Amino acid sequence: MDDNLRRRDPERTRQALLAAALAEFAAKGRAGARVEAIADRAGVNKQLISHHFGGKDGLYRALVARWLEQEAGFASPDLPLAELVATYVHDSVEHRDIQRLMLRESLEDVDEPAAGTGDAELADMRRRQQQGELAEDLDPAFVLLVLQAAASAGVIFPADVRRLTGLDPASPEFAARHAEQLKLLLAHLAQRVSNAAPEG
């Protein structure tokens, strides 16, 4: 990227750095990523990372903030649970690098991750159970963990996806089929509530 262009268009520089950082963090993790490699990917001087983001950690936080903003745009609590999970499936296929970044953070097992499942998500799952979207004998916390992993299966188990389904885990075909199957699974998880015979 031309030096004069950088000075004229700082927003373009920021976006180039974010794109480069996403690829680097997804490939090497937060600890393994190097500012020199990020700058090289973006075609800019590494000093611009400090200038625009205050360093590597600030760049990482900016990526997480962008993901959370994106998530807020599609993860509406008004959606039925099956539809909500389906949107996460499609997002994980369309934005594999951000999913890989989040998974790497989870694997690092930090006490305070930059993003992840929290109290609000669990409270929402309990609300959904009270409304009949989950059978009463299921533990919402464990269901949430299972669904979180299931929605990201194409990123976590790409070789297994290819071997078991014959589909490309990065393809729209896989996303559509996987989302459909998870919807069916969730229908069965709620079925015991709707089919339970009344006592007495």
Range of the domain at 29: 1-74
Same domain for 62 and 110 = no
pLDDT digits (tens, 9 = 90+) for 156-187: 999 999 999 999 999 999 999 999 999 999 98
The domain boundary, picked from 74, 106, 127, lies at: 74
Same domain for 185 and 91 = yes
Domain at 56, CATH number: 1.10.10.60
Give me the pLDDT at residue 102, please: 86
Closest CA to 69 of 96, 91, 42: 91
HEC letters along 93-133: HHCHHHHHHHHHHHHCCCCCCCCCCCHHHHHHHHHHHHCCC
Give me the pLDDT at residue 193, please: 46
The domain boundary, picked from 74, 96, 129, lies at: 74
The verdict on residue 61 lying in a domain is yes
Residue 55: pLDDT band with limits 50, 70, 90: very high
- Contact indicator for 61, 139 with CB cutoff of 8 Å: no
Same domain for 104 and 152 = yes
Residue 108: pLDDT band with limits 50, 70, 90: confident
Number of domains in the chain: 2
Which letter, b or e, does each residue of 49-79 get, where b requires 16 or more Cβ atoms within 10 Å of its Cβ? bebbbeebeebbebbbeebeeeeeeeeeeee
Same domain for 66 and 108 = no
The domain boundary, picked from 34, 52, 74, lies at: 74
Domain at 85, CATH number: 1.10.357.10
The verdict on residue 163 lying in a domain is yes
Question: pTM for the full model?
Answer: 0.80
Same domain for 175 and 144 = yes
